[in-house]
Structures are given as C-alpha cells and as structure tokens.
Structure 1
C-alpha cells in the first residue's frame, strides 16, 4: 500500500520499517518506491546518495530519538532520586519503542549484517553512548555494582530479549526481561 509522501522526513519512517522487515540488502528501490509511492527520480531527489544515504538517514532518526528519550534523560537527574527516575523512564521508553519486543532493533540488525562495515562508527556510538549514560545514572542513583558492567548487562539483556521475544512470538519474554533488568538496576536505600 503506497503512502503519500510530501518531503524527505515523510520517507524516513517508511524506510525504517522496510529495513526492519527486509534488511538493508533485501530492501530494493522497487520495494521502496512501491511502499512510498515515489519513483526513482523522486527517491534520488530526496536521497542523492541512494540506499546508503537512506539507511544513514534512518540511523540518524533513530539516534535522535534515543538521544532525546534515553541518553539525555539518563545524563540528567543529578540527584539520587532524579537518577533513579531516569533509569525507570529508560525502561518504560525502551518497552514502548520496541513495542514490548515486537519491534526489532534496526541498529542491532545492522550490526549483525553485512552493512555493519558501512555504519560501524554510528552503530558503536549508539551502544556506547547508551551504556555510558546508563552507567552514569546508575552510579548517581547509588548502585553498588560496577555500573559500566551493569549497563552492558542491561543492553545485552534488552537486545537478547528482543530476539527471543520475536523468535517465540511472545512479547511476555521481553516484558519479563525488562522487569528483571529493572530489579537488577534498583539501588539500595
């Protein structure tokens, strides 16, 4: 079903879903055109660099959302209670963004595929900033564990839960892991 597209920003969410469904390599210009209702000329007008520029725009859009909704709040919350609240908000936002495990992590998918080399710096930066922002919030919240290690454990748990929830077609897998990770991140007192 073709959508009406008026500007480049309208194309980016459609591209994200296509890349989620078909991967970078499996998303052809014909498929993009069919889904957006745009011809090749219009697509190249919006994205002169072709599919690689399209993927970069999608990754930048995802990065912007995570910066606003995850990383910046985790870096805020200067006092103990604010830091705890930012960690709780991260889990709620992650659950909503990944639709309780029904939505794949496109950055993670790109990290596993042949496209990793093209976008390695963006992919690494995405996970590193998340880990460091979470580690800082956990430390400010008074968590006794080595917070960089715990933050890495949380990211591993989230990514694994996305995969397992989709493999089993069971969003409860994701919800249980988010609840377990949330408990793991609770600081005493």
Structure 2
C-alpha cells in the first residue's frame, strides 16, 4: 500500500539516503518508489521534473542545513544556529560530526561531485564547497590566523573531512573520521 505524504519535504530524507547508497544513476524510479512508499504518479506529482528535481531538492535541503548550522555561524562568528554563544569552530566540528554520524554517513554532495552527476549539479556542488571553505577561512582569520594561512587551512580542513569520510567508509572504520576531526580541531586552535 502506498504511503500518505502531505508534502514533498516529507520524503526528502528517504531520497537523500537512497542517493547516498546508490548514487544518482543507481537510484532508479523503482528503487525510489520502494524506498519512499510512493507510486510513480505520486512521485511525479511532487516532482514533475522527475529524478533531476528530486536530486535538486535533496541537495537544496542539505545546502540549507549546512548554511544554517555551519556556514553562517562561521561567517558571523557565532556558534550553532541562533544566538548560541559557543565558539564557531568547535560548533562546526560538532555539527560536522553529528551530520556525518561520526563518519558513518557519506557526503552526498561529495559523491555527486565525483560522478557523472557533477555536471548536472555543478553550481550546487561548487557553491557548497566554496562557501564552506570561505566561511571557515573567515572564522580562522577571526581567530588570529593570517589571511593566507587561514585560507590554506580552511581548504585543508574541508579536504581532510571529505577524505576522512571516504577512508572511514573504505576501511569500515568510523574511528578514522573521529581521529581526523580531533586532529583538525587541534590544528585550528590558536
């Protein structure tokens, strides 16, 4: 029996996890239907643009989460979303650890960047990584790192986080991710 869904946002988490597991190409309409519990007609009702629109909606949701919980707090010099007084760098590492489930969850935007899907969603992918790197550089400069050093370190941190996600999955060892975050936390202290 097909499941009742009030809004398309209700199925975005299931779509996101399916794209993480199968990639864009491997997420067939049959798999999407099985994962969401929706028939093809319902899927096209919510996403008239088909799988491209589904992927774009998932990427937009991820982007919104990162903008609210990571990018804006780093740029604005505050902790988590809102008026949290927590320092932005520790808050970023905590949020990254939680989002990627201590290395057990793949980065969908990173996965899309590596596949044939990259060209289809290039603006979204490029914007996500640039905004993360640039917001982190602002936060590091605010902490006292010289501008050039802050920019280089920001890039190093984003690269290391993405690499740690891949290596944790490749080795089936989430501790790789945790150790990497611990080293990066120490590296970003002034």
Q: CA deviation at 1:22?
A: 0.4
Cα distance change, pair 84–133 in 1 and its aligned pair in 2 (3 A): farther
Q: CA deviation at 1:4?
A: 4.8
1:104 corresponds to: 106
1:74 corresponds to: 74
1:23 paired with 2:23, answer yes
Q: How many correspondences in the alignment? A: 184
Whole-Å Cα distance in 2 between the matches of residues 3 and 174 of structure 1?
A: 36
Q: CA deviation at 1:143?
A: 2.0
1:148 corresponds to: 151
After superposing on structure 2, the runs of 4+ consecutive aligned residues of structure 1 that deviate more than 4 Å are none
Q: How high is the TM-score relative to the length of structure 2?
A: 0.92
User: Match of 2:116, SS?
Assistant: coil
Match runs of 1:132-143 below 5 Å: 132-143=134-145
1:162 corresponds to: 165
- Listed as ranges, the gaps of 5+ residues in structure 1 are none
CA deviation profile, 1:61-83 (whole Å, cap 9, x unmatched): 000000000001101127xxx99
Cα distance change, pair 3–23 in 1 and its aligned pair in 2 (3 A): farther
User: Match of 1:115, SS?
Assistant: helix
2:81 corresponds to: none
2:120 to 118, 125, 129: 118
Name the stretch that deviates more: 138-147 or 170-179.
Answer: 138-147
Q: Select the structure with the greater relative contact order (CA < 8 A; seq sep ≥ 6).
A: 1
Whole-Å Cα distance in 1 between the matches of residues 125 and 99 of structure 2?
A: 18
Q: How high is the TM-score relative to the length of structure 1?
A: 0.93
Whole-Å Cα distance in 2 between the matches of residues 3 and 138 of structure 1?
A: 47
CA deviation profile, 1:118-139 (whole Å, cap 9, x unmatched): 0011100000000010000000
- Listed as ranges, the gaps of 5+ residues in structure 2 are 79-83
Cα distance change, pair 105–177 in 1 and its aligned pair in 2 (3 A): same
Whole-Å Cα distance in 1 between the matches of residues 35 and 124 of structure 2?
A: 26
